[in-house]
Structure 1
Amino acid sequence: MMTDDSFEIFLVTAPGLEDALCAEAREKGFQDAQSTGGGVTIHGRWPDVWRANLELRGAARILARIGSFRAFHLAQLDKRSRKFPWGDVLRPDLPVKVEVTCKKSKIYHAGAAAQRIEKAITEELGAPISQQADVRLKVRIDDNLCTFSVDTSGESLHKRDHKEAVNKAPMRENLAAMFLRQCGFDGSEPILDPMCGSGTFPIEAAEIALGLNAGRTRSFAFQDLATFDADVWQEMRSAKPTSAPTIKFYGSDRDAGAIKMSQANAERAGVAAYTEFQMRSISELEPPEGPKGLVMVNPPYGARIGNKKLLYGLYGALGKTLLERFSGWRVGLVTSESSLAKATGLPFLPTGAPIANGGLKVRLFQTKPLK
């Protein structure tokens, strides 16, 4: 594959969030974005790969499809792997990790297939193979078609790298961004999270309102590829915030440690001036002065706590407080338990598909503005 050709780029996200990520990708200028199982496909060149990693908040990782060929047995895989233009994308001086999956193919032994591809890369390109390598080549052999993708992200994109302190059950940033989007948040209204933990929802909301790029402070695996242009990348990532909101984004929690974590994370993210965190119980919760907005909350649920029976009172108290004091505010609540959501007494709209989150299936429950 020539490096100046357009190719397929796959944006990975949690199943159930494909449409939300597709909408974000189109908003960011990837006009041909199409939802598919487990993610979104776009087409572009290497700078588009870099920009997708930098800007997209809902993606978990970005895969670049660098080529494909058919192979019906291991000898053919070996021969064609040796002719593949690895040097267009991979560097001979950096290690590579090869991961193979086989499905409905005459080549059914993933380990044997990986060995052939690894040998081809080592002997034809000169790059070493390492299970600890930052550069990962993902090979999918499906119906005898071998498709090669490079994981251009490295660590999962939910790791923004300006959030060091986390509580025991944090909401992943990419999921938080997509839940905010599904609730209609566009950066122009206040957000309040009454169980803010390490501050993910208010911080993510502040970054969106400021127009900050999600990956602005981290590094990526694509920086170790032969296709990388440091000058173009430096110019791309030096973009400044596009707006300065006149509103704030609020978090509260009954745990003093959570408030300290949230404040430290907001400081590192550069959004401390636009966020406000206070130690408060649910019964002390009051809406901030100013315009009405969105209450966004990820309360504890069964698997995170151990005994969900203890949680019905908490959810009930939350619903009572919101119904009594937050007229005009919308609510977005994420939980794995429909019965807990029901315990709030809030007038939730019909829910969408469940979303995989840390081994659990969670759902986003939403209301219209409360009366």
Structure 2
Amino acid sequence: MTKDTPFEIFLVAPPGLESLLCAEALEQGFADATITPGGVTLTGGWPEVWRANLTLRGASRVLARIGAIRVMHLAQLDKRARKFPWADILRPDIPIRVDVTCKASRIYHAGAATQRIETALRESLGATIAPDAPLRLMARIEDDLCTFSLDTSGEPLHKRGHKEAVGKAPMRETLASLFLRQCGYTGTESVVDPMCGSGTFVIEAAEIAKGLFPGRSRAFAFEQFASFDPDLWQQMRTANTPRHTDSRYYGSDRDTGAIRMSTANAERASVSDIANFRHNAVSDLIRPEGPPGLVMVNPPYGTRIGEKKLLFAVYGALGKTLLERFRGWRVGMVTTDLGLAKASALPFSTPLAPVSHGGLRIHLLQTDTLR
């Protein structure tokens, strides 16, 4: 397999948000991106894998489906796994771990299949197998076909690399970007988050406005593959020139610690010139100067932070402030509790299906332009 040999690439998406990730992939020039359960499928070579990790905001991981072998029994898996061209892709000096799943196949024992593949890697490549290895090979045996995939991302892609300070129950950056997209945000309007926490929505929106690559500050698993080209990768990374924008991004929170965190995170993300954070309660929220934009808020749910019964007044104060001072703006709200959202009295349209996040099922609620 050469650097440019095409293969299937799978972009992992939060369940239910596949269409939003597909739209982003198409915008980023992945022309054959197609929605599939759990994510988006496209084809390309290793440069497309690198570019997907670097530029896509909504993907949780990028998997490279590097090949498949037909296997009817364990002895056949042992023989054919040894003949697989591992050295084209993997380095013997980088430890790897193997995860196997079996479904509707004559090979049904995942543990035994794992042992055969690990042995093949040790004896044909000289690889070290370790449960905490930085690289992960996944084998899915379904209908007697064993498909090999590599996790090319390493750490989940919501870990952008420049957000060090995190508060309670943070919103993942990947999910925040998809919710912003769902609310119609394209990077050309201001965004306000009156309960900003560590600043995820504000920073993500500001990065989109400046055209900054989400993966610019971090390392990826694919950098340790035999197929990696460091010179081409450096060209990709340095091709990112920030855009000028007249839009501004505002976060506020009643917690002074949250404002310190969000301000520091914005500095590291290189958006502090257009992102501003201030300490105030929602009832003291001031509408920014300039044209209307989007209010994007992830209030506390009561599930993990504080007592739920105390939050009805908070949601009510938020809704009252927005209805009185943010005429012409749209609102997006993330919550686990539709009853709390109703307490805001904001004119939300029918909620979308809930999305799983950190063990919770959260809803994105949206309004049209407030009148």
Instruction: State the TM-score, normalizing by the size of structure 2.
Output: 0.98
Counterparts of 2:240 and 2:165, CA distance in 1: 25
**Whole-angstrom distance in 2 between the partners of 1:292 and 1:353:** 27
Separation in 2 of the partners of 1:169 and 1:241? Answer: 32
Deviation, structure 1 residue 325? 0.9
- Counterpart of 2:336 in structure 1 is 336
Please say if residues 92 and 127 of structure 1, whose CA atoms lie closer than 8 Å, have aligned partners that are also in contact: yes
Secondary structure class of the residue paired with 1:302: coil
The verdict on how the C-alpha distance between 1:130 and 1:303 changes in structure 2, with shifts beyond 3 A counting, is same
Distance in 2, Cα, partners of 1:180 & 1:260: 24
Whole-angstrom distance in 1 between the partners of 2:3 and 2:82: 19
Equivalent positions of 1:1-371 (< 5 A) are 1-305=1-305, 307-371=307-371
* Alpha-carbon separation, structure 2, partners of 1:217 and 1:140: 32
What per-residue deviation string (whole Å, max 9, x for no partner) do you get for residues 135-169 of structure 1? 11011111221110000000000000100000011
Matched to 2:368, the amino acid is K
Deviation sequence 1:223-280 (CA, Å, 0-9, x none): 0001100000000001233411112100000000000000000000111001000001
Cα separation, 2, equivalents of 1:199 and 1:14: 21
Range with bigger deviation, 102-111 or 286-295: 102-111
TM-superposed deviation, 1:105: 1.6
Letter in 2 for 1:262: S
Q: Which amino acid aligns with 1:112?
A: A
- What is the deviation of 1:306? 5.1
Give 5+ residue unaligned stretches, structure 1: none
Task: Measure, in 2, the Cα distance between the counterparts of 1:69 and 1:349.
Answer: 49
Change (3 A) 1:3 1:243: closer
User: Please, which moves more after superposition, 17-26 or 313-322?
Assistant: 313-322
Shift of 1:307: 3.0
SS at structure 1 position matched to 2:187: coil
Give me the identity figure in percent: 65
Is contact 2:2–2:227 with CA below 8 Å preserved after alignment? no
The TM-score normalised by the length of structure 1 is 0.98
Q: Which amino acid aligns with 1:163?
A: K
Residue 88 of structure 1: how far off its partner (Å) = 1.1
How many residue pairs align between the two structures?
Answer: 371
Q: Aligned with 1:122: secondary structure? A: helix
Structure 2 gaps of 5+ residues are none
Counterparts of 1:330 and 1:31 in 2: how far apart (Å)?
A: 31
Is this contact kept in 2: 1:3–1:88, CA < 8 A? no
Following TM superposition, by how much is the alpha carbon of 1:4 offset from its aligned partner in structure 2, in angstroms? 3.0
Measured after TM superposition, the shift of residue 3 of structure 1 is: 4.3
What is the deviation of 1:302? 2.8
Say if 1:349 and 1:367, in contact at 8 Å, map to a contact too. yes
Could you say what secondary structure the match of 1:340 adopts? helix
* Aligned partners of 2:160 and 2:215 also within 8 Å: yes
Aligned residues of 1:152 and 1:220 also touching (Cα < 8 A): yes
Contact 2:285 2:321 in 1 (8 A): yes
The Cα RMSD (Å) is: 1.0
- Mapped to 2, the partners of 1:272 and 1:107 lie a distance apart of 55
In structure 1, give the amino acid aligned to 2:44.
G
Q: Shift of residue 107 of structure 1?
A: 1.3
Contact 2:316 2:344 in 1 (8 A): yes
Q: 1:10, 1:62 within 8 Å by CA — same for their partners in 2?
A: yes
User: What is the distance in 1 between the residues matched to 2:8 and 2:133?
Assistant: 24
Within 1, Cα distance between the matches of 2:247 and 2:53? 28
Shift of 1:132: 1.3
Cα distance change, pair 144–302 in 1 and its aligned pair in 2 (3 A): farther
